[in-house]
Structure 1
Amino acid sequence: MTPPPVVRRAGGWLLAAVWALSFPLFSSLGPHRLWGWCAATGYLAAAGAAALGRRRAALGAALVGAVAVPLLYLVLTGQGQSEVAVIERSGRLLLDSGRLYVDGPTRVEDYTPYLPATALLGLPRALLDGAFGPGGEWAVRLSGDARLWCAAALFGCLAAGRRLLGSAPSPLLPLLVASPVVAMPLVVSGVDLPLAGLCCLALAAAVSGRPVVAGAALAVACGLKWTALPAVAVVLAVLAAGRGPRAALRCAGTAALGTAVLVAPAVLLQPAELWRQVFAFPTGRAEVATPAGSPLPGHLLAGLGPWGWHLTVGLLVAGGLAVALSLVVRPPRTLVAAADRLAFGLTLAFLLAPAGRFGYLALPLLLVVWARSATVPGTSRVVAGSAGRGARGAAVPHRANPA
């Protein structure tokens, strides 16, 4: 027997509260603990409001407790995960010297495991530092904190993607933002949010038949983190299936050119540091061990010794080839199918990577939920050029996803 909707909603917020409370109990990081206390309070209030049938009040309580209050406090006090400081340092280095990486890093804090486009998110703080007089530090933090710009990039990309698809606002997106999966990384670090938004935008552009826009979104995504590469394969498969090889080639050319423009300066100025910090460090092959050590299968295997590291890398490559083969044999033709395929590939990569964090799994979940929120109920967004559809970017009656 299915529980009534009120019970399901209240139960969902209670589960979120339990998840949030695990951070004060088990995490040693101050920002995580603070977020856990604030979020748990908000989720408990949301559960109470949901039990009384007040859905909007429940959502508001969750957003205030899990996002607004902890984010404002952490921004004003200058606290957060180390990623925030790393992004802002990259912006300062870019502004001061045109470089992005600390030469000869000796501590974890010295490493910047991101590609050059990430520094753009740290530029606002670098530009604003010193622009205000005494007592203006709060103004600098409220307008320049990297988390705020990461969140702005996410929401801007999601809004642009919905505009390309012609989708109306959906109640699922505020729920997703209020959920622990998005709220927690948004508040404490924000670093993976722009990548998630760009992936959504690229999929929306591909499905609506805009290969150049899709390529531009992919270029920026690949300029942020190399984990965006699976999105390139999925987007090209969508375009090739729906618009033909020429559209896929236009997208690939745009993505390659844009990525080259973003990455080339670091390749020319600091090739050794680019390799050491962006590729060797995240995979556990640098002089300093990465702090990304959640007990996921790949990390556990890599911890068994050199043979374990090579085994997990082999499994990672095999999984990537399997997903690539699936894109050739059965290319996705709808937004939901494409998002699901990308989410599956990313989940597989995060699980099998030699070093990873549970937080990385927020990206696949966001892709899955956003794609469904951007699809009109009763219809399925079919890639432009596919059989069975009319005008560009049109929606057709939903059938089983050819995923």
Structure 2
Amino acid sequence: MLALPPRWARAGSVAVALVGAVLAPLLVLVLAGQGQSEVAVIERSGELLLRHGTPYLAEPQTVAEYTPYLPGMALFGLPRALFGADGWPARLLGDARLWCTAVFLGCLAAAVRAHGRGAVTLTAARASASAPGRLSSASGGLAPGGGPTVPVRPVAGPAVPALTAPVLTGPVLTVAALVASPLVALPLCVSGVDLPLTGLCVLALALAGRARPVAAGSALALACALKWTAWPAVAVAAALLAATAGRRAALRAAGTAAVGTAALVLPSALRAPGPLVEQVFAFPTGRGGLPTPASSPLPGRLLADLAPGGWYAALALLLLAGLAVARSLVRHPPRDAVAAADRLAVGLALAFLLAPAGRYGYLALPAVLALLPRLSGSPRIPRASLAPRRSRRPRPWSAPTAAPRPRTPQVVSAP
């Protein structure tokens, strides 16, 4: 790598890291049939969904028989039910981790493409604004300072493509480096459960930043049908769209997400409502028939075990944190995909820390959410270009002053 040019050396280093940290260990674990218990849970839920129309066992006896995911997660287990586990081709194609990884990488590619287009538009606008000699006027007027001001349109030229060419190559390399890092490579190889949710949330925020409410709502519907952890992303995307594209766009995104989630979840929920509530909502929060293995000593868990009413105290703190994040979305809505991802990451981090049951590994999700939009080339809107917020304080009242009467000329008569 040292003998290669800098550009090729960076790309070669990332390729070697991907092979050594992702591809090789993933293939070894898949062919050996080893991984965390979540993989077997997803594959079993896919088989149950195919045979019985619901991914939940009616009376689970052990922790491994619980399915703490919404019905959409069972779709990743359908390949195992279709291909089986006889022979290495079937074992490879049926593993749920490969399909989780494929959806994750596909969402990242779509998000990089969306961010890249937004970056090209923003860069073109800045290039046009910085080249006053290349602007043509359409109509006349006067500026506040007395000079002429006219609406302008940029004249096409070779300068803008030259400025935007690096945008299409840099983010791909940085995102690939993040995938090869332990933050993503480790869960990708051993579990892969949270990767589709993360990719869909990043894609939804990228589409919302480009003012595409229906596409963003569709991505949110897929994410919300996997785990209820993705539900706060609907509020964040709606706040982003309301601040940048208007309330109607925000309602379209939220409505699309709600209808899509209901269409994916309701068939299984109506078929087995009791097991769904027990395994998806009660079990992960420590209120199921069996104790949850998510018992890391996080603040919410410690508070829940402190006293008989500790579980309710942790739940109250969790609700207060959610209200605080919701208030921040109303008073200071995000203006771009990076700010929206930061707000979602803060909300999820608070939820994982204050939940009555949790694991340290859950915090990897908000960390990846905060990093991916920045690395994928999302354009940031400068604060100076944002319109100032109106002050809600009433203006001091002052009595109207009477207009001066016109003075009439005095006529002096001659003596």
Normalization by structure 2: what TM-score?
0.75
How many matched pairs?
329
Match of 1:286 among 258, 274, 288: 288
Q: How has the CA–CA distance of structure 1 residues 68 and 335 changed in structure 2, closer, same or farther, with 3 Å as cutoff?
A: same
Residue aligning to 1:266: 268
Residue aligning to 1:375: 377
Quote how far apart the aligned CAs of 1:56 are.
4.5
Match of 1:67 among 22, 26, 39: 22
Quote how far apart the aligned CAs of 1:57 are.
5.0
Written as runs of structure 1 = structure 2, the 5 A alignment for 1:200-349 is 200-349=202-351
Residue aligning to 1:192: 194
CA deviations on 1:319-372 (whole Å, 9 max, x unpaired) are 000000000000000111111111111111111111111111121111111111
Secondary structure at the residue paired with 1:166? helix
Q: Which 10-residue stretch deviates more, 298-307 or 209-218?
A: 298-307
Distance 2:43 2:276 in 1: 17
User: Does structure 2 conserve the Cα–Cα contact (< 8 Å) formed by 1:207 and 1:381?
Assistant: no
Match of 1:145 among 95, 103, 108: 95
Distance 1:128 1:314 in 2: 46
Quote how far apart the aligned CAs of 1:165 are.
2.7
Quote how far apart the aligned CAs of 1:291 are.
0.9
Distance 1:148 1:303 in 2: 38
Quote how far apart the aligned CAs of 1:381 are.
5.6
Match of 1:99 among 36, 49, 54: 54
Distance 1:212 1:339 in 2: 19
CA deviations on 1:49-97 (whole Å, 9 max, x unpaired) are 9xxx964554344333322222111100111111000100111111111
Normalization by structure 1: what TM-score?
0.78
User: Does structure 2 conserve the Cα–Cα contact (< 8 Å) formed by 1:93 and 1:101?
Assistant: yes
Residue aligning to 1:17: none
For 2:178, the aligned partner's letter is: L
The structure showing larger relative contact order (alpha-carbon pairs under 8 Å, at least 6 residues apart) is 2
Distance 1:154 1:172 in 2: 16
Written as runs of structure 1 = structure 2, the 5 A alignment for 1:58-207 is 58-129=13-84, 136-166=86-116, 168-169=168-169, 170=171, 171-207=173-209
Of Structure 1 and Structure 2, which has the larger fraction of its residues in helix?
1
Distance 2:102 2:381 in 1: 26
Distance 1:305 1:272 in 2: 29
Q: Percent identity?
A: 61
Residue aligning to 1:396: none
Distance 1:255 1:210 in 2: 13
Distance 2:75 2:15 in 1: 32
Distance 1:335 1:184 in 2: 26
Distance 2:190 2:316 in 1: 33
Distance 1:284 1:138 in 2: 38
CA deviations on 1:100-140 (whole Å, 9 max, x unpaired) are 1011111000100000000111111111127xxxxx52111
For 2:91, the aligned partner's letter is: R
Can you give the 5+ residue segments of structure 1 that lack an aligned partner in the other structure? 1-45, 131-135, 390-403
Quote how far apart the aligned CAs of 1:375 are.
2.5
Quote how far apart the aligned CAs of 1:388 are.
6.5
Q: Which 10-residue stretch deviates more, 334-343 or 191-200?
A: 334-343
Higher-Rg structure is: 2
Distance 2:22 2:81 in 1: 25
User: Does structure 2 conserve the Cα–Cα contact (< 8 Å) formed by 1:238 and 1:332?
Assistant: yes
For 1:240, the aligned partner's letter is: A
Residue aligning to 2:153: none
User: Does structure 2 conserve the Cα–Cα contact (< 8 Å) formed by 1:198 and 1:221?
Assistant: yes
For 1:352, the aligned partner's letter is: L
Secondary structure at the residue paired with 2:309? helix
